[in-house]
Amino acid sequence: MSKKNIQVLLVRRPQGWVQESDFRLVETELPALRNGEVLVKHLYLSLDPYMRGTMNDAKSYQAKVELEQVMRGGIVGVVEASRHPNFQENDLVSGYLGWQQYSISTGQDALGRNIRKLHPKAGIAPSLYLGVLGMPGVTAWIGLVSISQPKAGETLVVSAASGAVGSVAGQLARIRGCRVVGIAGGKAKCDYVVNELGFDACVDYKAGHLAEDLARATPVGIDIDFENVGGEVLEAVALRLNPLARIALCGLVSEYNEIAPQGFRNFGALLTWRIKLQGFNVGDPDSLKLWPQAQSELEQLILAKKLTYRESIVNGIEQAPGAFIGMLKGENFGKQLVKLT
Amino acid sequence: MSKKNIQVLLVRRPQGWVQESDFRLVETELPALRNGEVLVKHLYLSLDPYMRGTMNDAKSYQAKVELEQVMRGGIVGVVEASRHPNFQENDLVSGYLGWQQYSISTGQDALGRNIRKLHPKAGIAPSLYLGVLGMPGVTAWIGLVSISQPKAGETLVVSAASGAVGSVAGQLARIRGCRVVGIAGGKAKCDYVVNELGFDACVDYKAGHLAEDLARATPVGIDIDFENVGGEVLEAVALRLNPLARIALCGLVSEYNEIAPQGFRNFGALLTWRIKLQGFNVGDPDSLKLWPQAQSELEQLILAKKLTYRESIVNGIEQAPGAFIGMLKGENFGKQLVKLT
């Protein structure tokens, strides 16, 4: 009995903002499983800002997605059939298996990495391996613990503070004794950041007086900037940096859809205040070594209910393009997922 | 018998480019020396790009010069009279004693640091303590050895390559086995950088095709950028950075006279290629500890004739404002000094 598989292909490279028409949904028939292959039924697809970069025809640390190919993306799924010695029916797995309902592979994902088997402890939902316990959570941990090296009493600012990465980075910094100030878009997100995530303050960049509000929220300046946004947000932060401050450069979501990004106009602050900035990625060789330590701390915090997270879930693979575009515009709230079953 | 002292005062804060009329020369009479004071006759005044920043009314790591006060600057001088227990007539000294022919102090300079006694080895000219053995040379050493941590075989690019800092940074990198590419303005400077300083290549940024020329000179990309200039020079470098490259951010001379600097438009490269950037200053607490080690290596290299330098000398304190403006425009060649006697 053959199965249908709906896939999302990249069919056009966006100039500027992504359009739904840059994607095309296709329904294909899954072929019969051959020796050495595993069939995975996808439960959740992760949508993340980095994906915007894979749509470009540009030299980058991440390979681009070819036109007419399935969009790359991390999923959590369940093995539905296996002719591969390492996998058995009902195994819970994770990997970069793409924007689709099913995948057939030889046990490696689109990045050439082995598909990982998951063994969630009681109380851990599988979707968390795409969020707080997966790439975004580990990104937050590495950017904070390894790159920023926070000390108790320091002031940390994190942009996109209600997002999958920012929310974890800020909470981890609070646990380490920092004063934590979020930057987010709109009152609802800022209320969430302060009241539910427990940040000391949150500045609404949409309120129209970012520099003044940030100055008020950081009376003794900024020691660490966990940067997810760039552009005007970064430039406001630069005005408040203390000497010898650090910037963990994790994302520049304000730039991803700009044809001519403004860049960093008051970049001179990095010289004036002798700032240490580091761009990083969770897939770097140095980062990959830290995954077990990061995931272990995050899992313990989740089980102890010391880490709050929020998921923003749409239903059905057909919703993926629209939800992705919304996320790039900041319309999501917390980790953006597509539920596929 | 009273002595005359010609001083250069800052009388107006420049908007944009420095003008000679931002300064005023005054002739004053030196008062009689009191107990605890030392009279220093200045032999050489150092002119350096950082001085542009001290003319602004802006918050910075370096205190601004007040209007109607003597411009701040490093000098080498000789003690002409002393009523201070630590100094004797004819002692050779160095310190931030200002743009003037003489200074009277209680043994501390304009930065509150003790005036340093110099003991040059045979073959070491006193003026070198303002250049290759002084602040610029130590800046180059710290930016290269401590900040950039070069490995043999890496490609290093240094802008303002014929200048007091860049020339030393590049030579130190060559000694450590790097491929070294300079960026300088004009054919004469580029010829000097390759033929006399021994760099592997030099790109003339005034020739009009910087990005193409830099690509040709760095066939396997750039691992370290020793950045003195910023603006378009930095943006061309950013296009050639290898993954995990480092940027030692030492200066941004292209910006110092701009009211609205362009900043760093393709700053996103630092995220894409996971770059480590560090702004630094030779007067930082971490840097100050490294001075003895840096000066010791530089002195040995000078005595062994393994380090080439060039001085650009004008005569008379009256020439200081013009020479300073020329240096900011890149008209000097090597370390810019004013000879005062």
Summarised one tens digit per residue, pLDDT across range A269-278 is 999 999 999 9
% of chain A with per-residue pLDDT over 90: 92
Residue type, B165: V
Query: How many residues are recorded in chain A?
Result: 341
Shortest CA distance from B261: residue in chain A: A265
**Which residues on B lie below 8 Å from A275 (Cβ)?**
277-279
Q: pLDDT tens string for chain B (341 positions)?
A: 578 999 999 999 999 999 999 999 999 999 999 999 999 999 999 999 999 999 999 887 778 999 999 999 999 999 999 999 999 999 999 999 999 999 999 999 999 999 999 999 998 999 999 999 999 999 999 999 999 999 999 999 999 999 999 999 999 999 999 999 999 999 999 999 999 999 999 999 999 999 999 999 999 999 999 999 999 999 999 999 999 999 999 999 999 888 888 899 999 999 999 999 999 999 888 999 999 999 999 999 999 999 999 999 999 999 999 999 999 998 888 899 999 99
Query: How far, in Å, CA of B170 to CA of B299, rounded?
Result: 16
Q: Which of B153, B156, B151 is nearest to B168 (CA)?
A: B156
Residue A335 CA neighbour count, 13 Å, CB half? 27
Residue B23: phi, psi to the nearest 5? Answer: -115, 160
A161 burial type by CB count under 10 A (0-12 exposed, 13-18 middle, 19+ buried): buried
Residues A201, A182: contact at Cβ < 8 Å? yes
Residues B185, B206: contact at Cβ < 8 Å? yes
Residues B268, A230: contact at Cβ < 8 Å? yes
Q: What kind of architecture, by CATH, is found in domain A4-131+310-339?
A: Alpha-Beta Complex (3.90)
pLDDT digits 0-9 by tens, A100-136: 999 999 999 999 999 999 999 998 999 999 999 999 9
**Which residues on B lie below 8 Å from A266 (Cβ)?**
261, 263
Domains A4-131+310-339 and A135-279 share a fold: no
Shortest CA distance from B228: residue in chain A: A271
Shortest CA distance from A63: residue in chain B: B272
Would you call A119 helix, strand, or coil by DSSP?
A: coil
Contact: A277, B281; criterion CB under 8 Å = no
Q: In this structure, what DSSP letter does residue B341 have?
A: -
Ordered DSSP codes for B254-289: TTTT-SS---BTTTTHHHHTT-EEEE--TTSHHHHT
Residues A154, A241: contact at Cβ < 8 Å? no
CATH (residue range B135-279): 3.40.50.720
Question: Which residues is B29 bridged to in the sheet?
Answer: B4
Contact: A267, B271; criterion CB under 8 Å = no
For the ranges A52-61, A171-180, A205-214, B117-126, the lowest mean pLDDT is seen at: A52-61
Rg (CA), chain A: 20
> For the CA atoms of A62, A67, A73, A78, what is the dihedral angle to 10 degrees?
-130
B56 burial type by CB count under 10 A (0-12 exposed, 13-18 middle, 19+ buried): middle
Residue from the list A268, A274, A284 with its beta carbon closest to the beta carbon of B274: A284
- Chain A residues within 8 angstroms (CB to CB) of chain B: 53, 60-61, 230, 243-244, 249-252, 255, 260-268, 270-281, 284
- The two beta strands, A155-159 and A222-227, are parallel
Cα of B257 to nearest chain A Cα, Å? 12
Contact: B277, A271; criterion CB under 8 Å = no
First to last CA, chain A: 19
pLDDT digits 0-9 by tens, A216-238: 999 999 999 999 999 999 999 99
Q: What kind of architecture, by CATH, is found in domain B4-130+310-339?
A: Alpha-Beta Complex (3.90)
**Which residues on A lie below 8 Å from B271 (Cβ)?**
249-252, 279
Would you call A165 helix, strand, or coil by DSSP?
A: coil
Query: How far, in Å, CA of A73 to CA of A55, rounded?
Result: 12
Residues A192, A215: contact at Cβ < 8 Å? no
The rounded Cα A252 to chain-centroid distance in angstroms is: 12
Does the ipTM surpass 0.90? yes
Query: How far, in Å, CA of B146 to CA of B168, rounded?
Result: 14
Statement: residue A1 has pLDDT above 60: no
**Which residues on A lie below 8 Å from B267 (Cβ)?**
230, 252, 261, 263-264, 267
Token digits of residue A138: 């580990």
Q: Which pLDDT value is given to residue B108?
A: 96
Question: Mutation test of the interface with chain B: which of A271, A277, A287, choosing the one with the most B Cβ atoms within 10 A?
Answer: A271
CA-to-CA dists, residue A190 to A198, A200, A213, B335, angstroms: 11, 11, 13, 53
- Domain coordinates in residue numbering, chain B: 4-130+310-339, 135-279
Shortest CA distance from A276: residue in chain B: B278
Q: Which of A130, A111, A147 is nearest to A286 (CA)?
A: A147
Would you call B21 helix, strand, or coil by DSSP?
A: helix
Would you call B212 helix, strand, or coil by DSSP?
A: helix
**Which residues on A lie below 8 Å from B273 (Cβ)?**
61, 279
Shortest CA distance from B227: residue in chain A: A271
Query: How far, in Å, CA of A9 to CA of A323, rounded?
Result: 15
Query: How far, in Å, CA of A265 to CA of B247, rounded?
Result: 18
Residues A334, A164: contact at Cβ < 8 Å? yes
Cα of B163 to nearest chain A Cα, Å? 19
Q: A316's torsion region: left (phi>0), alpha (psi -120 to 50) or beta?
A: left
CA-to-CA dists, residue B142 to B281, B283, B286, angstroms: 9, 11, 10
Q: Which pLDDT value is given to residue B2?
A: 73
Token digits of residue B291: 């001075």
Residues B44, B338: contact at Cβ < 8 Å? yes
Token digits of residue B256: 């110092």
Contact: B261, A265; criterion CB under 8 Å = yes
Q: In this structure, what DSSP letter does residue B130 have?
A: G
Query: How far, in Å, CA of A267 to CA of B153, rounded?
Result: 30
Location of structure tokens 């896939």: A7
pLDDT digits 0-9 by tens, B50-107: 999 999 998 877 789 999 999 999 999 999 999 999 999 999 999 999 999 999 999 9
